[in-house]
Copies of this chain bind each other. A is one copy, B any other.
Amino acid sequence: MPSITEENYLKALLRLGNEPLAEGQVGTNELAAYLQVKPSSVHDMLKRLRNRGWINYQKYGKISLNESGRALAVGILRKHRLWETFLHDTLGFSWDEVHEVAEQLEHIQSAKLIDRLDFFLGYPKVDPHGDYIPDSDGHLEPLAAIPINQVETGEVVTLLAVKGNDPTYLQYLSHLEIRIGIEFKLIERVTFDGSLVIEYMGKRQTISRMTAEGLLVSRNT
């Protein structure tokens, strides 16, 4: 059974390996930056994770999860997202408050607890940020969504999920009345700085490129 720290490394490898272009391959410095530790610390841990049989790694090579490491990481992600859903739906936390607490709760070891929580919540498919919750068999649906800045002017799209855990970002979206499931029409793209003008709920709003990058949408059929 992995320690809490080991679990956080495994989860980070899953996350970073799923980035577009990453193809499961992650670098030492990248991991260090993401986990807010030094590359030398990462290197120590990588040796341990390899000895424990969870990753593929050799000196100066890229890192990837193997089957058992990926299974562990997906299990932690499942717990994280179920807890976020519990905090939001049952206890009334706002979507910007859930991540931090779920970072702790995801490390509780009890299969029964997670099964019962899943049942209690009605087997939810997505968490409060629109991300898919892995099922109990370790299946994780890939999110078929693109950032809204990759959409053509005039298109109408639906917000499937938001990317990023920064509470101030999520609070800002709430302030703009942007929620999962909302429909946007892309009115205009500002070539100068990549800002977008979007229309939703009968109003027009300009959002910066940075804000737009976190809005993951599907093209409406």
Which residues of A pack against B, CB within 8 Å? 87, 90-93, 97, 100-101, 104-105, 108-110, 112-113, 116-117, 120
Are A113 and B92 within 8 A (Cβ)?
no
B87 lies within 8 A of A120 (CB): no
Give the number of copies in the complex. Answer: 2
Contact B108 A93 (CB under 8 A): no
Please give the distance in Å from A67's CB to the nearest CB on chain B: 27
* Among candidates B91, B109, B117, residue contacting A113 with C-beta atoms closer than 8 Å: B91
Given contacts A90-B120, A93-B112, A101-B110, 5 further A-B contacts (CB under 8 A): A91-B116, A91-B117, A91-B120, A100-B110, A104-B108
What residues of B have a CB within 8 angstroms of the CB of A92 in the complex?
116
Distance (whole angstroms) from the CB of A92 to the closest CB of chain B = 6
For the complex, give the distance between the alpha carbons of A117 and B105 in Å: 14
A selection of 20 A-B contacts at a CB cut-off of 8 Å is A87-B113, A90-B120, A91-B113, A91-B116, A91-B117, A91-B120, A92-B116, A93-B112, A93-B116, A97-B112, A100-B110, A101-B108, A101-B110, A101-B112, A101-B113, A104-B108, A104-B109, A104-B110, A105-B105, A105-B108
How distant is A121 from chain B, measured CB to nearest CB, in Å? 11
Q: How far is the CA of A6 from the CA of B109 in the complex (A)?
A: 20
- Which of A108, A117, A120 has most chain B Cβ within 10 Å? A108
Within the complex, the shortest CB–CB distance from A220 to chain B, in Å, comes to: 36
